[in-house]
């Protein structure tokens, strides 16, 4: 049994069994982690409010046949908004489990701090940190260098002319 104490962003949660939930984190030390939070759906649970999506938490995880949340304390709560929810969805879909990246963690913190302070944010630095540098990006249909959209599912860039309408599952690169 190995114990980890780290900072994390709560990305998502899914019901698991009658009283449990699976919590999706992006952690400072471990990268993306999925951990079980036992009895979190009980009315007496002290962890339920701490492990809401968009919370930055200090979390204690135990690894024994998978990860389990032992304790958590929120230290920063991001107001739920469309851009914030799209950003956590992007992080959840674009990262792999147990692939830590300190630079990406710092970029996440900075991006959410900008969002919290009502500053504009861009997906460009996040895409670059994940290996999708815009310096070499080309539209996958017409080979134009003026790309505007990125598809998370297909992991391709598209220009404004080649993008489907309505634009679903694409993020706009600003």
What tens digit of pLDDT does each residue of 37-95 get? Answer: 999 999 999 999 999 999 999 999 999 999 999 999 999 999 999 999 999 999 999 99
Domains of the chain: 1-127 (2.40.50.140), 132-172 (no CATH)
Q: Is the dihedral of CA 77, 82, 83, 89 positive or negative?
A: positive
d(CA 37, CA 174): 37
Give percent of the chain above pLDDT 70.
99
Q: Which helix (H) or strand (E) holds 71?
A: strand 67-77
d(CA 28, CA 5): 10
pLDDT class for 166, splitting at 50, 70, 90? low
Quick check: bond before 166 cis, omega within 30? yes
pTM higher than the cut 0.75: yes
């Amino acid at each position: 049994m190995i114990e980890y104490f780290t900072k994390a962003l709560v990305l998502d949660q899914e019901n698991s069994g009658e009283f449990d939930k699976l919590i999706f984190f992006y952690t400072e030390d471990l990268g993306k982690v999925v951990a079980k939070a036992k009895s979190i759906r009980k009315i007496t649970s002290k962890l339920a409010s701490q492990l809401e999506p968009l919370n930055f938490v200090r979390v204690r995880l135990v690894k024994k046949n998978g990860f389990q949340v032992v304790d958590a304390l929120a230290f920063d709560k991001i107001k739920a908004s469309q851009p914030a929810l799209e950003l956590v969805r992007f992080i959840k879909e674009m990262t792999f489990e147990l692939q830590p990246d300190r630079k990406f963690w710092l970029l996440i913190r900075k991006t959410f701090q900008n969002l919290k302070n009502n500053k504009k944010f861009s997906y460009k630095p996040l895409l670059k940190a994940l290996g999708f540098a815009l310096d070499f990006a080309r539209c996958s249909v017409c080979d134009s260098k003026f790309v505007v959209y990125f598809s998370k599912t297909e992991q391709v860039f598209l220009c404004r002319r080649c993008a489907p309408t309505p634009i679903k599952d694409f993020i706009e690169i600003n």
